Amino acid sequence: MPEHSKFLLADSQIPSVWVNVLPSLPEPMDPPLHPGTRAPLAPQDLMPLFPMELIEQEFSPKPFVDIPGEVMDIYRLWRATPLYRARRLEKLLDTPAHIYYKYEGTSPAGSHKPNTAVPQAYYNKRAGIKRLATETGAGQWGSALSLACQLFGLECTVYMVRVSYDQKPYRRMMMHTWGAEVFPSPSEHTNAGRGVLAAAPDSPGSLGIAISEAVEDAATHDDTNYALGSVLNHVMLHQTVIGQEAKLQMEQAGEEPEVVIGCFGGGSNFGGLALPYVLDRLAGKGPRIVAVEPAACPSLTKGTLAYDYGDTAKLTPLIKMYTLGHDFVPPGIHAGGLRYHGASPLLSHLLKLGQIEAKSYRQLPVFEAALSFARTEGILPAPESSHAIRAAVDEALLAREEGRQRVILFCLSGHGHFDLSSYESYLTGKLQDYEYPGQDVARALAEV
Ligand SMILES: Cc1ncc(COP(=O)(O)O)c(C=O)c1O
């Protein structure tokens, strides 16, 4: 019998719904608050930023939401994504564990981000919006939204975190190719950006600052809305195509995961894979679920569960989440997509309820795992995704120590073809390991 390493689905097996965990939660989430009045947010408060259909999804009580036909037509360009068994990595680790990964890097933009960019562009187009403004960290979300806007005939403005803008010129060119305009953030184009530059002309930027710029841009232009690539409930909802497909593919492989792992920036690839398994847990049986974040920006493992702003300039609603403080500017680690001070409020709630776990790693051990993966499985992973690889490798090594088989499933959220300068730094011994910036976090948390 040949050894199967790749598990594929037919187009007819691509999920036709997104699954929503909100109605199954044992305790309801705390509501978002209006940044001015601190009263619970009413759906219409979000109308300057989002179209009504997305606002409804944000608070939806329905267990399933149908995926529109025009979105399905685009999903079929790359979905279903493959599930692989990492047999060569298992061999290298000499582990009895079976390691599976769901590979989202086969999308045109190279990550899971188009799963939500496409529906967000679709609903905005239907609402008559002409332009979307957004932020991007690593450039993955900005590219995904640029592509989605191009496909639906919308304009797109991307505020790209300065450190990534400099580290990743080719991501910027990809966005230009798909027709977007891209500004380094902090920029001179918004009050929020000018304010940061006045205080810190050399600011490396952060997702929190770039979000302030994009939100201000959208709120001050009638024909423009804002799009967020992570954190919010409707983003988590759209990403559940990942976990739904993975469940079918694990069935094909004839195994059940004992542990499910994803890297964590705002939570969308992790939530996308994990939430269908969270539903199993809430129904009484399901795997352990582990979120993996950078030690330099550890919102889940070192943050506080509190109401905080999603951005630096305090323009967004207050959301209850694990946060390092909206003023916190993380060190310029190479996993730019994980440099966010907060976390999805839904996943924060699930962490508080004990339904998921969290751990953090420094970037050197993460790159070490990325290289082992690239040299055995062939795929050159994104630095963000490599956090999940590190955790999967450690689970597999633990299985070896304990001398027992275990099935591990992780999300490989994207490829690292535009992250080669990070690989160069690592391979030439220049990559630094950042300490946990405890004093900066304490200072930022004092403002929450
Ligand atoms: C490849 C990749 N993985 C993960 C992330 C983190 O985002 P999230 O936590 O929303 O999945 C990013 C963000 O840019 C990314 O580019």
SS3 124: helix
Nearest to 159 by CA among 179, 174, 139: 139
- Which atom of ligand 1 has the smallest separation from the CA of 136? 14
Dist. CA 364–CA 115, nearest whole Å: 30
Residue 263 CA, ligand 1 centroid: distance in Å: 7
Mutation pick for ligand 1 pocket among 81, 115, 140 (CB with most ligand atoms within 8 Å): 140
**Chain-centre distance of CA 20, in angstroms?**
17
SS3 28: coil
Determine the Cα angle at 184 with ends 320 and 140, to 5°: 65
- Which atom of ligand 1 has the smallest separation from the CA of 111? 1
pLDDT in tens, the chain (448 residues): 678 899 999 999 999 999 999 999 999 999 999 999 999 999 999 999 999 999 999 999 999 999 999 999 999 999 999 999 999 999 999 999 999 999 999 999 999 999 999 999 999 999 999 999 999 988 999 999 999 999 999 999 999 999 889 888 999 999 999 999 999 999 999 999 999 999 999 999 988 999 999 999 999 999 999 999 999 999 999 999 999 999 999 999 999 999 999 999 999 999 999 999 999 999 999 999 999 999 999 999 999 999 999 999 999 999 999 999 998 988 888 888 898 999 999 999 999 999 999 999 999 999 999 999 999 999 999 999 999 999 999 999 999 999 999 999 999 999 999 999 899 999 999 998 887 788 888 888 888 8
Nearest residue CA, atom 13 of ligand 1? 337
- Which atom of ligand 1 has the smallest separation from the CA of 235? 10
Exposed, middle or buried, 203 (CB in 10 Å: 0-12/13-18/19+)?
middle
Nearest to 148 by CA among 80, 238, 15: 238
Residue 273 CA, ligand 1 centroid: distance in Å: 13
**Chain-centre distance of CA 145, in angstroms?**
14
Determine the Cα angle at 44 with ends 146 and 192, to 5°: 55
- DSSP secondary structure string for all residues of 192-246: HHHHHHHH-TT----HHHHHHHHHHHHHT-TTEEE--SSSSHHHHHHHHHHHHHH
Nearest residue CA, atom 16 of ligand 1? 140
**Chain-centre distance of CA 223, in angstroms?**
27
**CB count, 10 Å around CB of 375?**
12
**CB count, 10 Å around CB of 401?**
8
Dist. CA 188–CA 193, nearest whole Å: 6
Inter-residue contact 422 to 164 (CB < 8 Å): no
Dist. CA 211–CA 161, nearest whole Å: 10
Handedness of CA 341, 346, 352, 355 (dihedral sign): negative
Handedness of CA 44, 151, 64, 31 (dihedral sign): negative
- Which atom of ligand 1 has the smallest separation from the CA of 239? 11
How long, in residues, is the chain? Answer: 448
Mutation pick for ligand 1 pocket among 103, 106, 111 (CB with most ligand atoms within 8 Å): 111
pTM tops 0.85: yes
Hey, what are 412's tokens? 């490989």
Handedness of CA 328, 301, 277, 87 (dihedral sign): positive
Residue 255 CA, ligand 1 centroid: distance in Å: 27
Residue 171 CA, ligand 1 centroid: distance in Å: 14
Strand 259-263 with 407-412, pairing: parallel
Mutation pick for ligand 1 pocket among 413, 415, 418, 419 (CB with most ligand atoms within 8 Å): 413
Inter-residue contact 79 to 243 (CB < 8 Å): no
N-terminal to C-terminal alpha carbon distance within the chain: 59
Amino acid (one-letter) located at 240: T
Query: What b/e sequence results for 170-188 when a residue is b if at least 16 CB atoms lie within 10 Å of its CB, and e otherwise?
Result: ebbebbeebebebbbbbbe
Q: Residue 241 half-sphere exposure, CB side, CA atoms within 13 Å?
A: 31
Nearest residue CA, atom 7 of ligand 1? 265
Residue 36 CA, ligand 1 centroid: distance in Å: 30
Ligand 1 pocket: which residues have CB below 6 Å?
Answer: 111, 137-138, 140-141, 230, 263-270, 337-338, 382, 384-385, 413-414
